[in-house]
Homo-oligomer: A and B are copies of this chain.
Amino acid sequence: MKNINSLQKEVKIVKRLIKDEVIAEKNISDLYKYIFKSDGKRLRAKLSLITSSLNKRINKKRLKLAAVIELLHTATLVHDDVVDESQTRRGIKSVNTLWSNAHGVLIGDYIYSKAFILMVEIAEPKILYELANATNDISKGELIQLDALNNVSIDLKQLEAISYYKTGRLFEASAKTGAILSSGDRNFVSNVSKCAKNLGVLFQIKDDLLDYSLDEKAIGKPVFQDIKEGKVTYPFYFAYINADKNNKEKLLSYLGKNRLNIKSIYSLIQNLNGIKDTKLLASKYQNKAIKYANLINNKHIKAEMLKLIDSAFYRKK
């Protein structure tokens, strides 16, 4: 209980670190404040705080690293909203909707480079290397996904690669850089990284699953967005490979369409085991993540990681 409280307290400090950024230019300051007004789950920041808790004497750097990771993640979200033309983010209007695409692109760049400035201040070459590479991989994943739009012949391996690059990669880097910062040994760094990587993919699979949900209110964000945007994600993928010619054609006709009867699509995908098979895949990643969590030779950190895996697997929003 004490540990949870201390993690929540640290997350609050990280939040403040980010929000207290002073920007002299009023318009940029307004934009920045708007973006950080709404709270995400801060899972990535938590991951790095957990793995870096091996050595709390480096507390100032630990908090800064968590802030860097939160900034990097937020920059990708702002750019993603431009890419996907998303109307909302975390329950409020997206920057591209309330301001413009141009603002989304530029404030995203501003936040990215802010993250790099703080990263440089941490002054750990291995951390810089990992985060620069992770950022590159994220954009790679987004580009691969963009070019896979409306492509029903995508295979499971490619889908998993996209999930890894766009989500698992930053989970992995968050845990890894935290572990490096606290001077964990090779095994520790390797186990928390692999655990977090699989946790990240699990998180993405659950995200894809939640998008195929009939209860928009419970989720707190628009549903059936992926199919509308032409994105083949796991539920669609599994349904499609399980479908006969007739149902394949039906599914194909829904992909990329903005007006859909979501109830009938949900039934079709469910009947074709799209939901069930996706849940099975989620379990597979859950088990992999648990396997590596159990190899972590620090009781407290192991417990925190298992808790994160649990909440990712059972999350309802």
Residues of chain A at the chain B interface (Cβ within 8 Å): 25, 27-28, 31, 76, 79, 82-84, 101-103, 105-110, 112-114, 116-117, 119-121, 123, 125, 128-129, 132-133, 135-136, 138-140, 142-144, 146-147
Q: Which of B114, B116, B125, B146 contacts A116 (CB 8 A)?
A: B116
**Contact partners of A31 in chain B: CB under 8 A:** 143
Which 10 residue pairs spanning A and B have beta carbons closest together?
A: A113-B136, A109-B139, A116-B132, A113-B135, A83-B102, A110-B139, A27-B147, A117-B132, A120-B128, A106-B143
20 A-B pairs, CB-CB below 8 angstroms?
A25-B144, A28-B140, A28-B143, A79-B105, A82-B101, A83-B105, A101-B101, A106-B142, A106-B146, A109-B135, A109-B142, A110-B136, A113-B132, A113-B135, A113-B139, A116-B132, A117-B132, A120-B128, A120-B129, A121-B129
Query: In the complex, are the beta carbons of A105 and B82 less than 8 A apart?
Result: yes
Q: Are A116 and B140 in contact (CB under 8 A)?
A: no
* CB <8 Å contact, A120 and B125: yes
| Residue of B with least CB distance to A82 | B105
Closest residue of B by beta carbon distance from A134: B113
Known: A76-B109, A83-B102, A116-B136. 11 other contacts (CB 8 A): A82-B101, A106-B139, A106-B142, A106-B143, A109-B135, A110-B140, A113-B138, A117-B129, A117-B136, A121-B129, A123-B125
**Is A146 within 8 A of B113, CB to CB?**
no
For A125, the chain B residues whose CB sits under 8 A away are 120, 123
In this complex, the member of A109, A116, A120 whose beta carbon has the largest number of chain B beta carbons within 10 angstroms is A109
Q: Which residues of B contact A116 (CB under 8 A)?
A: 116, 128, 132, 135-136
Query: How distant is the Cα of A107 from the Cα of B144 in the complex, in angstroms?
Result: 11
Distance (Å) between the CB of A75 and the closest chain B CB? 8
**Chain multiplicity (copies):** 2
B contact residues around A117 at 8 Å (CB): 129, 132-133, 136
- Chain A contact residues: over half helix, strand or loop, or mixed? helix
What residues of chain B lie closer than 8 Å to A138, measured between beta carbons?
109, 113
Given A113-B135, A123-B125, A128-B128: A143 and B101 within 8 A (CB)?
no
A63 CB to closest chain B CB (Å) equals 19
A130 shortest CB reach to chain B, Å: 9
B residues in contact with A101, CB < 8 Å: 82-83, 101
Find chain B residues with CB under 8 A from A28 CB. 140, 143-144
User: A119 — which chain B residues lie within 8 A by C-beta?
Assistant: 132
- A112 to chain B: closest CB distance in Å? 7
For residue A142, which residues in chain B have a CB less than 8 angstroms away from its CB? 106, 109
B143–A103 CB distance below 8 A? yes
| B-chain residues with CB within 8 Å of residue A146 when the two chains form the complex | 102-103, 106
B contact residues around A27 at 8 Å (CB): 143-144, 147
Query: How distant is A282 from chain B, measured CB to nearest CB, in Å?
Result: 26
Q: What residues of B have a CB within 8 angstroms of the CB of A132 in the complex?
A: 113, 116-117, 119-120
